[in-house]
Structure 1
Amino acid sequence: MSEEVPSEAQDWKSRCVAKKQQQWDSIPKEWIISPPKEGDLNVMDIPRSCGILSPKELEITDMDDIVHILRNLADGTWTSVQVTTAFYKRAIIAHQLTNCLTEIFVERALQRAKEVDDYRAKTGNVMGPLHGLPVSLKDQFSMKGIETIMGYVSWIGNYAEHDAVLVQILYELGAVPFVRTNVPQTLMWGETYNHVFGRTSNPHNTSLTAGGSTGGEGALVAMRGSPLGVGTDIGGSVRIPSTFCGIYTLRPSYERLPYSGALNALEGQESISSVLGPMTNSIEAVKLFTKSIIDAKPWLKDPLVIKKPWSEDEYNLVDHGGRGGQLCFAIMWDNEVVRPFPPMKRAMDMTKAALEAAGHKVIVWKAHRHLEIYKNAETIFVADGGEDYRRDCDKSGEPLVISMRPDHYDDSFPFVDPYVKTLVGPLRSHTAYELWQLHKEKRILRKSYLDHWEATVDETGTGRPVDAIISPATAYPAPPHGLNTDSFYTTIVNAMDYATCCIPVTTVDPKLDQPFEPHEFYNHEDEALFNMYRPELFKDAPVGLQIIGRPQEEEAVISMTEIVDDALIKYRSSRTS
């Protein structure tokens, strides 16, 4: 990365204003819409009613079936220029409603789409399995000649000299990278806000957060502004926004997909690796992306990627009794740290009923050393005493973001002091020896959790341990801005390195999702969140769950997620027919 060092006289706020104006100037003026009426919080249908998109463009962008889009691109029914233009217009509409984008480069993307179309016209063949498909990227994946700001003022003017390995592979597969999406300052937040680009909102209800740190992708994909987005996850960063925004995702195991060349916070921290994952509107698209990237042999470009080709045997669940056989799922009804809200309980009830109706078995997952695991992971994350964050902020003089609460915070919402502060204690730098002890403890905890999982063989009745765990990704649906404090349900997956998918299940129904009766609380955060829950606050919020498998078991987890998703579709259909 080449870096433009700002003059001492240049104020960090003025740099933010200039960058935001540059972003606005990059939007074609004919794609600008009128703002929604005051009080219209659900903006999901505005792309269909604003008059910017033609009927054909609505047909293209409303389609969840990426296989069908790719088929139409392959046979020439649609051109990549046509498809990219349609999604670009919808992405710009989504941005005006949710503030989900960072870098906008229309001409460059359309030129790439034309190259793909010309290739097909000249050869009669597709360029690759993602031929002509627009793909959005979190503002971490460097693209040559484009800024990667990653939520820091000091990174304004940082133009990439090389493409990240993922971007290289996407080009080889025929894809069209076309926008980059918003992130929080430092990345280590479950919400999305920074001083440069501002706050990203949830399109289902803009008074709620889109989650983080891949919140821009979550909002964009939910609004059908992108058929396929790519985010990253170190503590829940693809899963939280996916469940908050009602879309699908995969958190793969360490080093299964290529991360080389992507920028990051906490670089050098390698005990709990950040991983990249797709964010889409169907589980089929999750499979398509994952298989396409693995089939491209990313280990030849990223030395950390494990040389593990896509396995159809694993996808066909050879280690789980075979696809079509009876599976045994365990539901984590409660992690004994923060109790799930009523909508999450109803989603788990629905999933249990759907799986049992499909002939599968469902048992209870017993929480095992969750507080120890969470404390260990969070202590590793802050072992530098916050120096990484401070250094990047000090370069520009911008303040470190210490709260996601808006400036005009509604005081009727209780302030939730994250319980993790109690676990980790005062922020301080750890010695190398102390960090080694944390790594040692993590290995012990992983072995303990493995033994706990293996012991479920006595309960399943299948002759195997539990095939997968089903749990919330957070204890609640998308909360109001500034109130997402819970990452206990997601971070355990990163610490244990479990391959995990997320799926949408339902939406909040204030009539069905009435508050629970008061009960004994696990801790002060559990109590504060209980008091926060008011069904009307979460109007239209999606409710999703995660399906957790073993390390390096991406194929099987995707397959089992397809099974869960199909069971839920049939269950919902049976309830409404």
Structure 2
Amino acid sequence: MPSWFDLATDKKQRQQNVIPKEWLITPPPASTLNVIGIPETCGLLTPQELVITNEDVDGLLKKLASGEWTAVAVTTAFYKRAIIAQQLVNCLTEIFVERALARAAELDEAFKRTGKVVGPLHGLPISLKDQLCIKGLETTMGYVSWIGKYAEKNAVLVDILEECGAVPFVRTNVPQTLMWPETSNNIFGRTTNPHNRSLTSGGSSGGEGALVALRGSPMGVGSDIGGSVRIPSACCGVYGLRPSYGRVPYGGALNSLEGQDSILSVFGPITGSISGLKAFMEAVIKAKPWLKDPLAVRKKWDEDEYQLKDRDNGRKLCFAIMWDDGVCVPHPPITRALKRVQATLTNAGHNVITWYPIEHKRLGDLTRYIWEAGASEDFMVTASETGEPIISTMVPDSNEATVAPFRPKKGGLTAYQLWQFQKEKTDLRALYLQHWNSTVASTGTGRPVDAIICPAAPYPATPHGHFRYTNYTTVWNALDYTASIFPVTTVDPAIDVKQPRENFIDAFDKQVHEMYQPEVFRNAPVCLQVVGRTLDEEGVIAMTEIVDAALKTTNKRL
């Protein structure tokens, strides 16, 4: 058998060989950090393709449904833009142009024959994280050991998306093992942030975040076990949704930590337009995934919940701002974004109060203990087939010995010890429910808090290798709360100056504070989370739309 390096080199070369040569551009020099505008100016896309790729999801679906645009034209436009994105930030894994265009042509033929769309996502190109198996294609998930293993059937979600009329057209890059808030592996290398290529795209759905940010895909599917939809969405300045366990089917997909079912990974949309969140979730849920995946939750799409019928129809909501998690205080641009949202929602007539987090550090610790029970062995067993080394740092060209705190430590737990941690997590979920319900006394609406608004991380996208704290997203996985990401602003060194602090929570809080240098984070997107309770997808989407619309009514910076 060839060495793992030879296998990886061959796989990468095969990827390059399928890119149409006429879609290659002259990439900018490495010193060009902000590449977000290059698809518009590189000359590859026609004026019509620029119009198509800049349209939001609702607009695309309407024009496809009316016959104004064909599925082939839309797929071609996004494919070309995705290939541009690949040349700029290295975000793709599987590229299957002919297959996707053939699928689009079938949809056009069906529309021409019947005058009707095939489904609610008719003709919409959708990118997929490199976990979602597609029949006849390799799914490496960043492991050299899985090169050459071709899927015998689609993942359940892929089948559903195709039934809904979507066109899967690329798969996107992930970190080896998936369990990183950054994206790099030994096959395809590192995905960078299109707003500033010296910064991370996030992870583990970093390829999706970067691709969608460059509008190389109108909608992608990521997965999230500790923030892996929300962190790349926040790093790259796009929208993302982490549904509760089982709302979106996972059957037939590859994963890390399979068999661990205390804190589950979930699939969710990453999209450049707010309308994409609802379009994806409504289409998938109305396809009744519980009939195809035994772990999918039997909960129909609830239009009353989306209309916020039990929340004054969304006219007067109460949002709670979580300024920090009690572990570390966010960087200045994050706090500025929180203040802006607070003022915007107050001006829009909603109540805004403070959220006081409880047990966030312990919830994060319990999550890591549960994952670490078998993660180290899981990674080792998978990689051992080829002898591929397990990546221990995301710092470029580094011999750094310091292992990020979220990486598993060798040595597992006894079954009894694991059960105790899982029991404590359950107890804390009950405590958090009680804490949320108790807010009814201070909301002014007669209801508990409708949603929490909080950071997605203590910092925007960091330099490569330095995204080392994920609790701002991970606690909501432990609680199984629905959470979305929405963009607010970008880092402006002239405004987001470093603020001196005299008091710190502890040494870690001080370390997070000291890593902030405004110029280092220049142009990094600043996004926040809307957090609802378990299985509150419809409500969270609606409330995210309300927050997003309110923000778009003002350009005032606070």
TM-score range, shorter-chain basis? over 0.9
Q: 1:428 offset after TM fit, Å? A: 1.8
Partner of 1:363: 353
Alignment map for 1:116-155 (pairs within 5 Å): 116-155=107-146
Question: Residue 22 in 1 paired to residue 17 in 2?
Answer: no
CA distance, structure 1, for counterparts of residue 398 and residue 376 of structure 2: 27
Q: Give 1:239 shift.
A: 0.2
Which residues of structure 1 form unaligned runs of 5+? 1-6
The equivalences for 1:86-101 within 5 A come to 86-101=77-92
Which of residues 443, 447, 462 in structure 1 aligns to 2:426?
Answer: 443
CA contact (8 A) 2:23 2:80 kept: yes
Query: Which one-letter code corresponds to 1:331 in the other structure?
Result: I
> Do the aligned partners of 2:213 and 2:237 also contact (CA within 8 Å) in 1?
yes
SS of residue paired to 1:456 = helix
Count how many residue pairs are aligned between Structure 1 and Structure 2. Answer: 558
Comparing 377-386 and 131-140, the one that deviates more: 377-386
Corresponding residue number in structure 1 for 2:377: 387
CA distance in 2 between partners of 1:143 and 1:484 (Å): 31
1:105 matches 2:72: no
Task: Indicate whether 1:559 and 2:542 are aligned.
Answer: yes
C-alpha contact (below 8 Å) 1:73/1:131 kept by paired residues? yes
Maintained 8 Å contact 1:164/1:260 = yes
Moved beyond 6 Å, runs of 4+: none
Residue in 1 that maps onto 2:455: 472
SS at match of 2:197: strand
Which of 522, 527, 534 is the equivalent residue of 2:505?
522
1:45-124 matches, cutoff 5 A: 45-63=37-55, 65-124=56-115
Partners of 2:203 and 2:231 within 8 A in 1: yes
| Counterpart in the other structure of 2:26 | 34
CA distance in 1, matches of 2:507, 2:232: 25
Stretches of structure 2 that go unaligned for 5 or more consecutive residues are none
Q: Which residue in the other structure is 1:211 paired with?
A: 202
Match of residue 292, structure 2, among 295, 301, 308: 301
Deviation at 1:377, TM superposition (A): 0.7
Q: Which residues of 2 match residues 336-485 of structure 1 at below 5 A?
A: 336-384=326-374, 386-407=376-397, 418=404, 427-485=410-468
Partner AA of 1:77 in structure 2: E
TM-score scaled by length of structure 2 = 0.98
Whether the 8 Å contact between 1:385 and 1:430 is mirrored in structure 2 is no
AA paired with 1:291? E
Secondary structure of residue in 1 paired with 2:279: helix
Any idea what the Cα deviations from partners look like across 1:369-409, whole Å, max 9, x if unmatched?
A: 11111111111011115100001111110110111111169
Larger mean Cα displacement after TM superposition, 523-532 or 127-136: 523-532
SS in 2 for 1:547: strand
CA distance in 1, matches of 2:375, 2:140: 23
1:316 corresponds to: 307
Please give the per-residue CA displacement for 1:262-310, whole angstroms capped at 9, x wherever unaligned.
1100000000010000000122110111001101111111111111111
Alignment partner for residue 493 of structure 2, among 510, 514, 525?
510
Moved more, 330-339 or 36-45: 36-45
Instruction: Report the Cα distance in structure 1 between the residues aligned to 2:470 and 2:421, rounded to whole angstroms.
Output: 19
Query: Any conservation in 2 of the 1:416–1:525 contact (CA below 8 Å)?
Result: no
Q: What's 1:220 paired with?
A: 211
In structure 2, distance between residues paired with 1:166 and 1:41: 35
What is the CA-CA distance between 1:418 and the residue it aligns to?
4.7
| 1:482-518 superposed Cα distances (whole Å, 9 cap, x missing partner) | 0000101000010000011110000001011111213
Separation in 1, partners of 2:247, 2:44: 40
Distance 1:417 1:149, change over 3 A: closer
Q: What do residues 518-539 of structure 1 show as CA deviations (whole Å, max 9, x unaligned)?
A: 3333333322221111000011
Q: In the superposition, relative to structure 1, how do residues 507 and 395 fare at CA in structure 2: closer, same or farther (>3 Å)?
A: same
Name the CA distance, whole Å, in 2 between partners of 1:353 and 1:417: 40
1:497 to 470, 480, 484: 480
Percent identity between matched residues is: 57
Q: Is the 8 A contact 2:222 2:267 kept in 1?
A: yes
- Quick check: 1:417–1:525 contact (8 Å CA) kept in 2? no
Query: Cα 1:102–1:541, aligned 2, differ >3 Å: closer, same or farther?
Result: same
The alignment partner of 1:40 has SS state of: coil
Q: Is the 8 A contact 1:191 1:404 kept in 2?
A: yes
Q: Any conservation in 2 of the 1:332–1:366 contact (CA below 8 Å)?
A: yes
Q: Distance in 2 between matches of 1:33 and 1:364?
A: 49
| Counterpart in the other structure of 2:260 | 269
Q: Are the counterparts in 2 of residues 190 and 212 from structure 1 also a CA contact under 8 Å?
A: yes
What is the TM-score normalised by the length of structure 1?
0.95
- Tell me, yes or no, if the aligned pair for 1:142 and 1:160 is still in contact at 8 Å: yes
Residue 183 of structure 1: CA displacement? 0.2
Q: Distance in 2 between matches of 1:95 and 1:420?
A: 29
Q: Deviations over 1:115-166 (max 9, x none)?
A: 1111111111110111111000000000000000000000000100010011
The amino acid that maps onto 1:254 is Y
| Kept in 1: contact 2:340–2:557 (CA 8 A) | no
> Given the alignment of the two structures, is residue 12 of structure 1 paired with residue 1 of structure 2, yes or no?
no
What amino acid is aligned across from residue 46 of structure 1 in structure 2? I
Q: Is 1:286 matched up with 2:268?
A: no
Separation (CA, whole Å) in 2 of partners of 1:270 and 1:341? 34
Structure 2 distance, partners of 1:47, 1:183, is 23
Alpha carbons 1:416, 1:483 under 8 Å: kept? no
1:544 to 500, 505, 527: 527
Distance in 2 separating the partners of 1:190 and 1:230: 16
Alignment partner, residue 4 of structure 1: none
Q: Secondary structure at the match of 1:537?
A: coil
Specify the SS of the correspondent of 2:59: helix
CA distance change for structure 1 residues 514 and 532 in 2, over 3 Å: closer, same or farther?
same
Contact kept? 1:419, 1:524, Cα under 8 Å: no
